[in-house]
Chains A and B, each alone.
Chain A
Amino acid sequence: MSSMDTPPSVSAMPGRGAALPGRPALPAARRKVVGLALLGILACALPFVLGNYQVFQLTLALAYAIALLGLNMLTGYNGQISLGHGAFFAIGAYTAAILMEHAGLSYWAAIPVAGLVCLVAGFLFGLPALRLEGLYLALATFALGVAMPQILKHKALEHWTGGSMGVVIIKPDPPSWIPLSQDQWLYFFTLAWTVLLFWAGWNLLRGRVGRALVAIRDQPIAAQAMGVNTALYKSLTFGVSSLYTGVAGALSAIAVQFASPDSFSIFLSLSLLVGLVVGGLASISGALYGALFIQFVPNIADQISKAAPWAIYGVFLIGFMYLMPSGVAGLVRLVRHRLANR
């Protein structure tokens, strides 16, 4: 019985809390905040409801989400195709493993250092990549992804990387005053990093930097003419994207407690690509959808056909390109639009 007002259009009436039947109650921005808050509450509540094994799976999914956000920055927003991001995942994982096992660094410190190492590595790879476009860059990164396991096994690095035997990592314990299991603690640790990196990424991409990246992707020459320093942006994007993926690799290695060259084959890079496409290019929420896809769908595909999960992946890849080129995120956006404009 609140008001006799019958506002003509309801979508964005700032301040109006009154709900009229059949119309959205809150303005769009508020809805987003509420949605995020609900997601946050869900994320924090899940580890107490699910068993340790599922919490472990969710931790891996969160790590993938960070990696996919990094890859999305590079490929989705900036148009630089990378088929070898598994290599940066590997560098991050090994850096953290080596620091924790050989240098005795705690996992708190190992993660940012792993990220920084990957930032530099990505930037360095991005420099020659400046001269490569589209397919050629895809080719070069593909080669990187294929060659990485062999590099990791090389004799010169064996003392640190453990060669093909890999490195075993001891799982961190929660501080004694927090009553959580190891898996739950690691989940929250990973969640904290996810929130931090997603927030940073969101900030970055919706501002000037994001617009510059998209401009470089769509009209590189025009962007340059407008004063955007394409070379710097592109190399930096490579670096930042590798930083994200490296942090993800480090987190994932700690969760799995093991890093070996066989964990980082070209199929990892291709999985990331699948996640990127399925989740949705140039979309932050797409990283989450994609991560859930690559974490949980193989288990389902396993049950359909033991021998050919990758064939199913391939069908998904091609299918999504035809039917849902903007991925699940795009689909969600479409559905929300339809519902909002009813």
Chain B
Amino acid sequence: MELLLHQIFAGLATGGIYASVALALVMIYQATHLVNFAQGEMAMFATYLAWSLMQAGLPYWVAFFLTVAIAFVGGILIERVIIQPVENAPVLSVVIVFIGLLVIFNSLAGWIYTYTIKPFPSPFPSGSFLDNRLLSSHEMGSMAVTLGVLALVFAFFRYTPLGLAMRAAAQNPVSSRLVGVRVGWMLALGWGLASAIGAVAGIMVAPIVFLEPNMMGGILLYAFAGALLGGIDSPGGAVLGGFLVGVLENVVGVYLGTELKLTVALVIIVAVLVVRPSGLLGKVHVARV
């Protein structure tokens, strides 16, 4: 029983990682109705930027906020320059552009920073949280950060006019334009925000898994599973889904062996998409012919 409890907590810790990346995925989805395959690599690249800034001597929090700002601008630029020309193209073209971004970011990071792992500092005190053996301070701290970002995102979409405009632009671009919403810039804003959230996720994740170009590779798939499980259009759902996937992965690992973890993610993805595509907390979409 104690082992199970430990595994659940360890699952929550890794789930926190998935949840933060899932949040960025949901952000892009809410803004553009697209799933960004390159999200993980963009987050990783932003984390490397933060690392470079810290190597250059900047204190942690300065580097943190500067990186988030750079990621925000970077996301907007990517949307305007790279995504916008294929906006109206069929889905396949967009997916291909995403895959292109994914491999470019991954290779660039490897080329510039090499593949040796680098330690990444944590803003939280090292050692266990309140001296318990289940979670480290950093893991608690990053979970808190994730929940905090979630609250901000939720408030943004729900209570601000800009958030409303973004949702409208994603759901019905034509009507939005008619009421004066600048749809193009809404999409760009969505990308910028997602990129910023991704940067935060990467900075929180790196101290746990160590910074290297392939650090997001395994995480991305679990984050997808989490986002889908919770509902790709619901930020709260994505976070919930992320934690669930983390716990499931660990618990299944104990009882079925750790050799099929990726398969578990695959099964979750397919099962959710087939049985309840809107996920646990998402809205069910009904298409009228």
Measured CB to CB, the residues of A under 8 A from B are: 75, 79, 81, 83, 128, 131-132, 134-136, 138-140, 142-144, 146-147, 150-151, 153-155, 221, 270, 273, 277, 281, 305, 307-311, 313-318, 321-322, 325
Contact = CB atoms under 8 A, between A and B. Distances in A.
A314 B100 contact: yes
Contacts of B209: none
Interface string B58-97: 0000000000000000000000001001100111110111
A147 B107 CA distance: 21
B35 A277 contact: no
B262 A314 contact: no
Given A140-B269, A147-B262, A311 B277 contact: no
A221 to B, nearest CB: 5
Contacts of B103: 270, 310-311, 313-314, 317
B159 interface: no
B260 A151 contact: yes
Contact of A140 (B100, B101, B270): B270
B221 A146 contact: yes
A262 B153 CA distance: 40
Contacts of A316: 100
Contact of B266 (A144, A281, A311): A144
B170 interface: no
Contacts of B107: 307-311, 314
Contacts of B34: 135
Contact of A321 (B86, B110, B263): B86
A281 B260 contact: no
B111 A311 contact: yes
B99 interface: yes
Contact of A308 (B111, B225, B228, B270): B111
Given A307-B107, A310-B106, A317-B100, A150 B262 contact: yes
Contact of A75 (B92, B108, B225, B270): B92
**Residue among B85, B225, B269 with most chain A CB within 10 A:** B269
A314 B228 contact: no
Interface string B188-213: 00000000000000000000000000
Contacts of A134: 91
Nearest to A318: B100
**Residue among B34, B37, B96 with most chain A CB within 10 A:** B96
Contact of A81 (B95, B221, B259): B95
Nearest to B232: A136
Residues of A contacting B: mostly: helix
**Residue among B82, B99, B108, B262 with most chain A CB within 10 A:** B99
Nearest to A317: B100
4 cross-chain pairs, A with B, having the tightest CB-CB distances, nearest first: A317-B100, A311-B107, A314-B104, A314-B103
B263 A150 contact: yes
Contacts of B224: 139, 142-143
Given A277-B96, A310-B107, A318-B100, A131 B274 contact: yes
Contacts of A322: 85-86
A83 B220 CA distance: 15
B3 interface: no
B228 A139 contact: yes
A143 B221 contact: yes
Contacts of A79: 90, 92
A143 B37 CA distance: 11
B273 interface: yes
A147 B277 CA distance: 21
Interface in B210-224: 221, 224
Given A135-B35, A136-B277, A150-B259, A273 B110 contact: no
A154 B221 contact: no
B102 interface: yes
A150 B262 CA distance: 7
Given A155-B259, A307-B110, A143 B269 contact: yes
A308 B108 contact: yes
B249 to A, nearest CB: 13
Contacts of A153: 259
B46 to A, nearest CB: 17
Contact of B82 (A155, A313, A318): A318
Given A135-B91, A140-B269, A147-B266, 8 more contacts: A81-B91, A140-B270, A150-B263, A311-B104, A318-B97, A318-B104, A321-B86, A321-B93
Nearest to B95: A138
